């Protein structure tokens, strides 16, 4: 099954108050294995970048000034997303900004029926624990030493690893089996190992061994079994 893990960076927290999408990063996975295909783009938000947001992702007005508008690349974004399930951390946030930008382009919104929220998955799997991307990377031993600031593609790549762990990890004995059409499903199969059976070894004493034993017994004075 094809899935897209994605992340966004923005000018703020609320697209309905004028905040805009400035970066998107997408990672393609098939059967929860990264294929190496990604999509990454920066966008000119047509507004100034608040200092608080720039401190999070480091994207300045000067850096974004020559980047295309979202509308110029919206078709490429939708083509990469296809009809696949879309996995994001706190997915309603990313969906909100993506659909707001599509609406500004007079394009149909992406259905939230396709949304997979890793925060919700983590809350079920680790109730009461910290659920940030950093915390989950630490829990699962995923290296994030190169993450000094938020970045959409980098965060999507880290989230892809977290998502695999949240769904059970790469378990020995799980195989991928072709299902209907182009979809695949996971089924559990026992790991079988070939066993070589050897003939039973003889354990009876030989005549020579019996004679040596009788000779030894004869040297014992007053044996306990003779009384």
Active site residue 89: no
Give 85's Cβ-side CA count (13 Å radius).
Answer: 15
Q: 72, 79, 12: which is closest to 48 by C-alpha?
A: 12
Catalytic hit among 126, 150, 203, 213: 150
User: What's the number of CA atoms in the CB half-sphere (13 Å) around residue 170?
Assistant: 7
Q: Write out the DSSP string of 93-120.
A: HHHHHHHHHHHHTT-PPPPGGGEEEHHH
Strands 21-30 and 33-42: antiparallel
Closest among 54, 18, 137 to 89, alpha carbons compared? 137
Residues with catalytic roles: 150
């Amino acid at each position: 099954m094809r899935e897209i893990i994605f992340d966004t960076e923005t000018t703020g927290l609320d697209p309905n108050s004028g905040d805009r999408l400035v970066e998107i990063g997408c990672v393609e996975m098939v059967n929860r294995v990264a294929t190496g295909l990604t999509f990454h783009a920066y966008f000119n938000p047509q507004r100034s970048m608040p200092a608080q947001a720039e401190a999070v992702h480091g994207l300045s007005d000067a850096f974004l000034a020559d980047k295309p508008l979202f509308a110029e690349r919206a078709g490429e974004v939708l083509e990469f997303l296809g009809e696949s399930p879309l996995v994001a951390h706190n997915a309603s946030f990313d969906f909100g900004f993506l659909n707001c930008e599509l609406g500004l382009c007079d394009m149909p919104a992406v259905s939230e029926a396709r949304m997979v929220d890793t925060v919700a998955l983590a809350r079920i799997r680790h109730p009461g624990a910290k659920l940030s991307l950093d915390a989950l990377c630490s829990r699962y031993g995923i290296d994030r030493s190169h993450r000094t600031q938020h970045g959409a593609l980098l965060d999507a790549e880290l989230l892809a690893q977290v998502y695999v762990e949240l769904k059970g990890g790469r378990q020995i004995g799980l195989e991928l089996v072709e299902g209907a059409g182009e979809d695949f499903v996971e089924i559990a199969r026992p790991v079988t190992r070939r066993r070589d059976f050897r003939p039973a070894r003889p354990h009876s004493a030989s005549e020579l061994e019996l004679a040596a034993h009788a000779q030894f017994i004869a040297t014992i004075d007053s044996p306990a079994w003779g009384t």
